Amino acid sequence: MAVPALRGVSLDVQRGEFVAIMGPSGCGKSTLLHLLGGLLSPTTGSIHIDGEDLSKVSDAKRTDIRRRKIGFVFQRFNLFPTLTAEGNLKLAEKIHTGNGAHSADRRHEVLRLLKLEGKMRHKPLELSGGEQQRVALARAIINSPAIILADEPTGNLDSENSEIVLDMFKELNEKFRQTIIMITHNPEAAAVASRIIRMRDGHIVEE
């Protein structure tokens, strides 16, 4: 018998909000994030981004919306191991624009903001876990997406690297009004958000 991961979830996120989603493992947090990002399709209900219903558009259209409007940060860094930090950013640019149109200055600016100066030519295995996560964040924001979806972005990081990542999220939200939806188990990480949603057993139980 199929068991639904989410049950009757209704959620509105306004442009420019910073939302943290908390809850025990298996409560549906990651499923909700993947639905919001168009990585999964709902069996019932709908998901709207800027008036477009992701559940009704074609796979190609959904991929295009995701490419143009959404940046993803995962707990597992998902960097290409054969590419340098800068190479991973160039690949993200190419996927977004078709030609990797950003200048080297833009890549250097993003890496500098994340305190990765001097690491541009390093491959993932030559970086610490915290540095890899910051490269993954740089890749997510290099194209200035309207929405950033982050799944436990500080879950594998020490306190120093967690602080760097969370400070970057705050700056992106406050300075550039990027919408951030972040899953976290960490109350200290959730505290930087402007709104906290708690889930249990596939339901939203508290805001």
Q: Quick: pLDDT tens for 39-94.
A: 988 888 899 998 889 888 999 999 889 888 999 998 788 899 999 998 998 888 88
Whole-number mean pLDDT of the chain?
A: 88
Q: Grade residue 106 by pLDDT with cuts at 50, 70 and 90.
A: confident
Neighbour-count burial of 175, counting CB atoms closer than 10 A to its CB (0-12 exposed, 13-18 middle, 19+ buried): exposed
Distance CA 169, CA 176 (A): 10
> Is 12 among the domain residues?
no
> Is 8 among the domain residues?
no
Domain that holds residue 48: 18-206
pLDDT at 121: 92
Neighbour-count burial of 160, counting CB atoms closer than 10 A to its CB (0-12 exposed, 13-18 middle, 19+ buried): exposed
> Is 57 among the domain residues?
yes
Distance CA 76, CA 129 (A): 10
pLDDT at 180 over 90: yes
pLDDT at 103: 66
> Is 11 among the domain residues?
no
Q: For tokens 């991973």, name the residue.
A: 88
What's the domain count of the chain?
Answer: 1
Distance CA 84, CA 88 (A): 6
Pick from 9-23, 68-82, 104-118, 127-141: least confident: 104-118
> Is 9 among the domain residues?
no
> Is 181 among the domain residues?
yes
Distance CA 189, CA 199 (A): 16
Sign of CA dihedral 65, 169, 122, 116: positive
Distances (CA, A) of 121 to 9, 92, 107, 111, 115: 44, 16, 12, 11, 14
pLDDT at 98: 59
Name the residue among 190, 137, 129, 185 with its Cα closest to residue 156. Answer: 129
Distance CA 107, CA 93 (A): 10
CATH number at 88 reads: 3.40.50.300
Distance CA 173, CA 190 (A): 14
Sign of CA dihedral 81, 82, 86, 89: negative
> Is 151 among the domain residues?
yes
Q: Grade residue 182 by pLDDT with cuts at 50, 70 and 90.
A: very high
Name the residue among 68, 50, 57, 40 with its Cα closest to residue 14. Answer: 50
What tokens does 175 get?
A: 């300075």
Q: Whole-model pTM above 0.85? A: yes
> Is 105 among the domain residues?
yes
pLDDT at 99 over 60: no
What tokens does 105 get?
A: 């200055």
